Amino acid sequence: MEKLIIDGGIPLRGELRISGAKNAALPLIAATLLAPGEHVLKNVPDLRDTRTFLKLMENLGISWQYDGHILKVDATHLNFSEASYELVKTMRASVLVLGPLLARLGKAKVSLPGGCAIGERPIDFHIKGFEQMGVNIKLEQGYVDAEVYESMQGTHIYFDIPSVTGTENIIMAATLAQGTTTIKNAAKEPEVGNLIDMLQGMGAKIEGKNSDTLIVHGVEKLQPANCTIIPERIETGTYLIAAGATGGEVTITDCQPAHLPALLEKLRFAGFVVEQNADSIYLNAGKISENGGAIRSTDIKTMPYPGYPTDLQAQFMALMTLADGVSVVNETIFENRFMHVAELRRMGARIQIDGHSAVVKGKGISGLIGAPVMSTDLRASSSLVIAGLAASGRTTISRIYHLERGYEKLVDKLSNLGARVWKEQE
Query: Is 227 labeled as catalytic in the residue annotation?
Result: no
Can residue 382 be called a binding residue for ligand EPZ (CB under 6 A)? no
Can residue 126 be called a binding residue for ligand EPZ (CB under 6 A)? yes
User: Reading across the β-sheet that carries 394-398, which strands appear in turn?
Assistant: 372-374, 394-398, 2-7, 420-425
Of 65-73, 100-108, 119-127, 193-201, which segment contacts ligand EPZ by CB under 6 A? 119-127
> Which residues touch 123 (CB under 8 Å, ≥6 apart)?
95, 112, 113, 144, 165, 166
Residues 155-174, interacting with ligand EPZ (CB under 6 A): 161, 163-166
Of 8-16, 115-123, 313-321, 356-364, which segment contacts ligand EPZ by CB under 6 A? 115-123
Q: Least Å distance between CB 26 and ligand EPZ? A: 5
Q: Least Å distance between CB 324 and ligand EPZ? A: 29
Of 117-125, 136-144, 193-201, 217-225, which segment contacts ligand EPZ by CB under 6 A? 117-125
Q: Least Å distance between CB 256 and ligand EPZ? A: 16
Give the DSSP letter string of 5-50: EEE-----EEEEE--B-HHHHHHHHHHGGGSSSEEEEES----HHH
Residues 275-294, interacting with ligand EPZ (CB under 6 A): none
Of the pair 120, 220, the CB lying nearest ligand EPZ is at: 120
Q: State how far the Cα of 251 lies from the Cα of 296, in Å rounded to an integer.
A: 22
Can residue 196 be called a binding residue for ligand EPZ (CB under 6 A)? no
User: Contact with ligand EPZ (CB under 6 A): which of 318, 378, 403, 419?
Assistant: 378
Q: What ranges in 179-299 are assigned the alpha helix state H?
A: 190-201, 233-245, 261-269, 286-290
Of the pair 95, 243, the CB lying nearest ligand EPZ is at: 95
User: Contact with ligand EPZ (CB under 6 A): which of 4, 16, 18, 26?
Assistant: 26
> Which residues touch 22 (CB under 8 Å, ≥6 apart)?
45, 47, 49, 50, 232, 234, 405, 406
User: Contact with ligand EPZ (CB under 6 A): which of 89, 121, 209, 363?
Assistant: 121
Can residue 334 be called a binding residue for ligand EPZ (CB under 6 A)? yes
Phi, psi of 34 (to 5 degrees): -75, -20
Can residue 142 be called a binding residue for ligand EPZ (CB under 6 A)? no
Q: Least Å distance between CB 46 and ligand EPZ? A: 16
Phi, psi of 254 (to 5 degrees): 55, 30
Query: How many residues touch ligand EPZ (CB under 6 A)?
Result: 25
- What mask of x and - would describe binding to ligand EPZ in positions 298 to 317, judged by CB under 6 A? ------------xx------
Phi, psi of 194 (to 5 degrees): -65, -40
Strands 280-284 and 249-253: antiparallel
Q: Are 407 and 4 in contact (CB under 8 A)?
A: no
User: Contact with ligand EPZ (CB under 6 A): which of 106, 119, 286, 306?
Assistant: 119
The single-letter DSSP state of residue 305 is T
Strands 280-284 and 70-74: unpaired
Q: Which of 181, 32, 176, 185 is nearest to 96 (CA)?
A: 32
Q: List the catalytic residues.
A: 116
Query: Which residues in this chain contact ligand EPZ in the complex, by CB under 6 A?
Result: 22-23, 26, 93, 119-126, 161, 163-166, 187, 310-311, 333-334, 378-379, 406
